[in-house]
């Protein structure tokens, strides 16, 4: 009667084969038994078994991590779609950041109210089409960032950079620190502080503002006395007699 080789693989599956040759042709073997007797060493060295187990464990962990990330992303995408559907179709408050061109002397913010049916135009420096009133607010300035005011409110409320705001945080932080000549600042803390100040200003009815680098003071020039070629002629008698 032919022997039955019970083969257990590193991934947890099992298989029964009828010969040693068939066993040797298999890969990923963890254990081999015949009639309850462990004969794994005849087919796989102990070190190779441990490597196979480790590789299988790592692969399983990586798959679980990838599946978890995909699940989180799917939830975020679904939530974003729900929020978009639930968003009101009426006027919406947005925040626009612009800066001076050719230097780093000024950074400006402005609240701009937009509607879904507003006319849109192309603006230099921005990939997306912008509502005409936003384009007019930019004018000849350099475009920095434009986003929903709700996003700034979420960032402040949650005390973090929310999804979709990475480039805005980087752009605003870079321009703000240049204008104010700040070095070594924390990006998250700095931008959250900016947003907090802007939202507070809006609550007070202020819808725009700016940061400007102060111009260096130029010392006042001392005016020199005017030169004259005129000869003073005296009409005093004493002066005439002495001459």
Last residue of a domain, one of 64, 84, 104: 84
Average pLDDT of the segment spanning 127-131: 86
What pTM, to 2 d.p., does this model score?
Answer: 0.55
Tell me the pLDDT tens digit for each residue of 75-103: 766 776 666 555 557 899 999 999 998 88
Average pLDDT of the chain is: 81
Tell me: pLDDT of 151 over 90.
yes
Tell me the pLDDT tens digit for each residue of 18-74: 888 887 888 788 888 888 788 888 877 655 554 455 555 556 666 777 777 777 777
Q: For residue 36, what are the domain limits?
A: 5-84
As for how many domains the chain has, the answer is 2
pLDDT of residue 61: 65
Residue 61: which H helix or E strand, with range? Answer: helix 46-86
Same domain, 97 and 168: yes
| 218 is a domain residue | no
Same domain, 104 and 57: no
Average pLDDT of the segment spanning 154-158: 96
| 229 is a domain residue | no
| 208 is a domain residue | yes
Same domain, 125 and 26: no
Orientation angle between helical segments 166-179 and 187-203, nearest 10 degrees:
90
Distance of alpha carbon 173 from the chain centroid: 10
Q: What are phi and psi of 126, to 5 degrees?
A: -130, 130
């Amino acid at each position: 009667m032919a022997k039955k080789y019970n083969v257990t693989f590193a991934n947890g599956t099992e298989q029964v084969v009828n010969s040693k040759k068939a066993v040797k042709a298999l890969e990923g073997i963890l254990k081999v038994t015949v009639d309850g007797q462990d004969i794994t060493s005849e087919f796989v060295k102990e070190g190779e078994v441990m490597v196979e187990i480790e590789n299988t464990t790592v692969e399983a962990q990586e798959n679980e991590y990838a599946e978890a990330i995909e699940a989180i992303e799917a939830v975020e995408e679904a939530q974003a779609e729900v929020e978009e559907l639930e968003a009101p179709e009426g006027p919406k408050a947005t925040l626009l950041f612009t800066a001076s061109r050719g230097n780093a002397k000024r950074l400006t913010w402005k609240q701009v109210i937009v509607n879904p049916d507003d006319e849109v135009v192309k603006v230099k420096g921005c990939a997306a089409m912008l509502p005409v009133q936003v384009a007019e607010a930019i004018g000849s300035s350099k475009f920095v960032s434009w986003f929903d005011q709700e996003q700034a409110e979420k960032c402040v409320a949650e005390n973090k950079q929310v999804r979709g705001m990475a480039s805005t945080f980087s752009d605003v932080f870079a321009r703000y620190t240049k204008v104010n000549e700040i070095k070594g600042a924390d990006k998250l803390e700095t931008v959250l502080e900016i947003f907090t100040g802007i939202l507070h200003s809006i609550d007070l009815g202020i819808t725009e503002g700016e940061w400007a680098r102060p111009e260096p003071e130029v010392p006042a020039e001392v005016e020199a006395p005017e030169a004259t070629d005129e000869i003073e002629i005296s009409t005093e008698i004493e002066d005439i007699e002495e001459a």
